[in-house]
Structure 1
Amino acid sequence: MTTQQIAATDANTAPGSPTPAAAARRCGRRLGGVWAATRLAMLALLARPLGFFHVGTINGEVHQIYHRWYEQLVRGGFPLDDVMWQYPPGAALVILGPGALPWLTYFQAFLVLTLAADALLAAALARAGRRPGRSTAGAWMWVCALPLLLHLPLVRYDVQVTALAALALLCMHRHPRVGGVLAGLGATVKLWPVLVLLGAPRGRTTRHAWLSAAAGAAALLAVLAAAFSHTFGFLRQQGSRGVQIESVAGTVLSLARPAGWPGKVEYRYGAMEFTGPYVSSFAHASLLATAAAFCWLLLWRVRARHWTPATPFDAALAAVLLFTVTSRVISPQYLVWLLGLAAVCLTSRATTQRPVAALLLPAAAVSTLAYPVLYDDVVTGTPLGCALMVVRNGLLVAAALLSCRRLWASAAGGALRRQG
């Protein structure tokens, strides 16, 4: 740096103001402090749940289901004829992961690995936010919004999957092959991370990302197929899923119960689902809506003309929102995915998805009221339970529509892109 440049820098820096590096370190310390405080509070709910709300039973999935799968996997086979195993083979790596910490119980090791993935994602968002044209708002959203779901994110493996998808997006611009591999690995754990590739810029970036995703996923699946038996048995369970009570279609059926619809709620395939007349029709309608959403995304991809650094992020959030609201199942942990992708969007000052991210915050809070706080009301279909699901799913549908509208306007017309 020349003497003139140093003088110009000094002239533009107010006396006593911190340098950019010092400001970044201060922001990092604050972010780390908030992360530690909020995660300790989430852990405290596991140790001492809010008993008057009966929310302490949600960790049974790790204690019972995940641990049972772990014991089957270490014997060399995927869960056979277990209707609750509905995940792609890569999920085995997450289930087996706690075995790498043998000095801890399975539950303790699972928590440690989940918190590690959470911290890694927060650090990646913060680092991405310090680049030119970026913002640390994404890191702050992730750190502060995840506790809206109470301790649920700690006892599901969606934080790990979200970390893979978010890191894939953050790598897409500079390292599309790395981003593609991460997205492909994420898709082998839960299918949705493949959607983050839909907004990859045309040309070499798209080719590198998609080919790397396919190669990474194929290599992992080949290894798992050679190492375990019944690797693809999960496909039988997916086709039998019904309409979960927390889905958009389930909300319609919940509202029909007071009007005389004779359907019932039963525990099936690891979730509370509706059974009775017209349920299969609603399930088929959900599948058709998902197909229509995919067609819209393809149309957007063909028609899009303007790409900003935020377009891959915005497209990923819009795609996952569409597939969430049209799904037969909306488990509460799906909000982890959406909060993570919204946080990635907010790392870019060019994003069009700020209003969408704002809608997801109350959606997460209401989702927590619906499960686990007032889940009995949702299951029995009380007026309060129905109201909660109408509000939560209404917010998600509004977020999906707004996300798509702003994505289309930005990429096809550029108007919102100019607004920033």
Structure 2
Amino acid sequence: MNRPRVTPGPVLALTVVWLATRALMLWLLTHSSARLLGGGSVTREVWRLYVHWYDVLSHGAFPAHDTTWQYPPGAGVVLLAPGLLPWLTYFQAFVVLTLAADALVAAALVRVGKRAGRSLLGAVLWTGGLPLLLHLPLARYDVQVTALAVLSLLTLARSPRSGGVFGALGALVKVWPALVLLGTPRGRTSRTAWTWAAAVGAATLTLLAISFNNSLAFLREQGGRGVQIESLGGTALNLARHLGWHGRSRYQYGSIELTGPHVAAVAGASLGLTAAAFGLLLLWRVRARHWSEATPFDAALSAVLLFTATSRVISPQYMVWLLGLAAVCLTSRYTSQRPVALLVLASSALSSVVFPMYYREVVDGTWTGCLLMLARNGLLAAAAVLSFVRLWHSARPPAGTSAAATEPRPDSDRLQDRALSVS
């Protein structure tokens, strides 16, 4: 069987663009003290907060009674990883490892995109989309988490075990990668992926609990979070300032949150919307009858978009997750999420205008800050709704096909891949 020959031109071009854009991101990182780049606020989280956590973790304990520690125990492994490069400062080692994870994602997207029936558009989106967030991705560990989620989705079809393992490891670092297994085809693929995810997750969590003290301390602080100023609820409250609402912004739980009357009600409404989103996703899972190779990718993006848009907290680095998942969707020519990927790109660009460029305007609740947040969050909300609607319709049986004929069979994803490669 002769496979179509892949010319090296597109891959070489992607490599050049990746090197050029990452050099630009590094340059921005070294000039992050400029006012327009946040006056050092972007990098401060690494050299102040992450270094502090590293010191605590290196003594065998997770940060307890620290309101800024709100992450599952797997995050400790990522934050300890820069210690593997002792000849560099913590900050330098962290950036090097983040770039390595970034390169791994790009390479995985290229590898899959070169297969017959697949597309390099995913690698293009990741390579060109991440720099829209300026230097922020290099100063947060969300690239590493996104790498685990991307690997989970890309390996799922050929090895459900690997997909489950990567998903579980990602969930132990930041909970959201657990959602990437939502769209696995029914049958043996789902059972294998979820079983391995549960087993590896439980074993790793047990190992971390034995190795470190206070492994579940994050639950106490996570539950105390309020309404972050960049969330949908925060945008509504900021706009309410101009209508006489007597609230104010304050730094707490590691972010700028709004305090004052009715904040608790807004937080409760956000949690209610998140619960409703989870119910919609479960309903889709139960009623879905048609699976394509892109369905697991599309379901993962839709789920994370819904949970992000309804969250009490929408930090700018969350866009890294969405860019990674959108890139995975675009590796398949059967994806339903192409217009959603464009909205994710647009909201990523606006996120950089919000933070770090005009964050003071957002914190002060000026009209400029409010309108910027309204535009960014409006795009995110539109992306979430459009993503779920297109996911829902893509799961309906094709016209003229019985529902039974489209019911996913065990290993249907492998059979589809094999059919594509033959064609």
Whether TM-score is above 0.5 comes out as: yes
Q: 1:133, 1:349 within 8 Å by CA — same for their partners in 2?
A: yes
- Give the aligned partner of residue 42 of structure 1: 25
- What letter is aligned with 1:137? L
Q: CA deviation at 1:49?
A: 3.3
- Give the aligned partner of residue 236 of structure 2: 252
Q: 2:228, 2:312 within 8 Å by CA — same for their partners in 1?
A: yes
Correspondence list, 1:196-235, <5 A: 196-235=180-219
Q: 2:14, 2:124 within 8 Å by CA — same for their partners in 1?
A: yes
Residue of structure 2 aligned with 1:63, choices 33, 43, 47: 47
| Structure 2 spans left out of the alignment, 5+ residues | 400-423
Residue of structure 2 aligned with 1:336, choices 309, 317, 320: 320
Rounded to whole Å, the distance in 1 between the matches of 2:45 and 2:196 is 33
Residue of structure 2 aligned with 1:381, choices 362, 365, 372: 365
Alignment of 1:185 with 2:169, yes or no, is yes
Correspondence list, 1:5-20, <5 A: 20=5
- Give the aligned partner of residue 154 of structure 1: 138
Residue of structure 2 aligned with 1:86, choices 70, 77, 102: 70
Rounded to whole Å, the distance in 2 between the matches of 1:83 and 1:50 is 26
Rounded to whole Å, the distance in 2 between the matches of 1:220 and 1:102 is 26
- Give the aligned partner of residue 168 of structure 1: 152
Rounded to whole Å, the distance in 2 between the matches of 1:132 and 1:313 is 18
Residue of structure 1 aligned with 2:14, choices 27, 31, 42: 31
Q: 1:46, 1:56 within 8 Å by CA — same for their partners in 2?
A: no
Q: Percent identity?
A: 61
Rounded to whole Å, the distance in 2 between the matches of 1:279 and 1:232 is 27
Q: 1:197, 1:316 within 8 Å by CA — same for their partners in 2?
A: yes
1:98-127 Cα offsets, whole Å, 9 max, x none, are 000001000000000000000000000011
- Give the aligned partner of residue 295 of structure 1: 279
Higher relative contact order (CA 8 A, sep 6+): 2
Q: CA deviation at 1:287?
A: 0.6
- What letter is aligned with 2:19? A
- Give the aligned partner of residue 310 of structure 1: 294
- Give the aligned partner of residue 262 of structure 2: 278
Q: 1:135, 1:348 within 8 Å by CA — same for their partners in 2?
A: yes
Q: 1:76, 1:228 within 8 Å by CA — same for their partners in 2?
A: yes
- Give the aligned partner of residue 223 of structure 2: 239
Give SS of 1:267's match: strand
Alignment of 1:53 with 2:39, yes or no, is no
1:165-212 Cα offsets, whole Å, 9 max, x none, are 011000111100100000000000000000000000000000001011
Residue of structure 2 aligned with 1:76, choices 33, 57, 60: 60
- Give the aligned partner of residue 394 of structure 2: 410
Q: 1:169, 1:313 within 8 Å by CA — same for their partners in 2?
A: yes
Give SS of 2:328's match: helix
1:364-401 Cα offsets, whole Å, 9 max, x none, are 11110000000000000111100000000000000000
- Give the aligned partner of residue 108 of structure 1: 92
State the TM-score, normalized to the length of structure 1. 0.93
Alignment of 1:348 with 2:332, yes or no, is yes
- Give the aligned partner of residue 135 of structure 1: 119
1:70-96 Cα offsets, whole Å, 9 max, x none, are 000110111011100000000011000
Relative distance call for 1:54 and 1:342 in structure 2 (3 A) is closer
Give the aligned CA root-mean-square deviation in angstroms: 1.4
Q: 2:72, 2:175 within 8 Å by CA — same for their partners in 1?
A: yes
Rounded to whole Å, the distance in 1 between the matches of 2:381 and 2:127 is 24
- What letter is aligned with 1:33? V
Q: 2:319, 2:348 within 8 Å by CA — same for their partners in 1?
A: yes
Rounded to whole Å, the distance in 2 between the matches of 1:50 and 1:245 is 23
Rounded to whole Å, the distance in 1 between the matches of 2:335 and 2:251 is 41
Rounded to whole Å, the distance in 2 between the matches of 1:305 and 1:170 is 22
- Give the aligned partner of residue 384 of structure 2: 400
- Give the aligned partner of residue 128 of structure 2: 144
Give SS of 1:412's match: coil
- Give the aligned partner of residue 246 of structure 2: 262
Q: 1:201, 1:307 within 8 Å by CA — same for their partners in 2?
A: yes
- Give the aligned partner of residue 416 of structure 2: none
Give SS of 2:395's match: helix
- What letter is aligned with 2:66? D
Rounded to whole Å, the distance in 1 between the matches of 2:301 and 2:344 is 11
Rounded to whole Å, the distance in 1 between the matches of 2:135 and 2:257 is 24
- What letter is aligned with 2:254? G
Give SS of 1:384's match: helix
State the TM-score, normalized to the length of structure 2. 0.92
Q: 1:88, 1:232 within 8 Å by CA — same for their partners in 2?
A: yes
1:276-321 Cα offsets, whole Å, 9 max, x none, are 0000001011111111100000000000000000000000000000
Rounded to whole Å, the distance in 2 between the matches of 1:61 and 1:116 is 20
Relative distance call for 1:26 and 1:91 in structure 2 (3 A) is same
Give SS of 1:20's match: coil
1:136-159 Cα offsets, whole Å, 9 max, x none, are 000000000000000000000000
Give SS of 1:273's match: strand
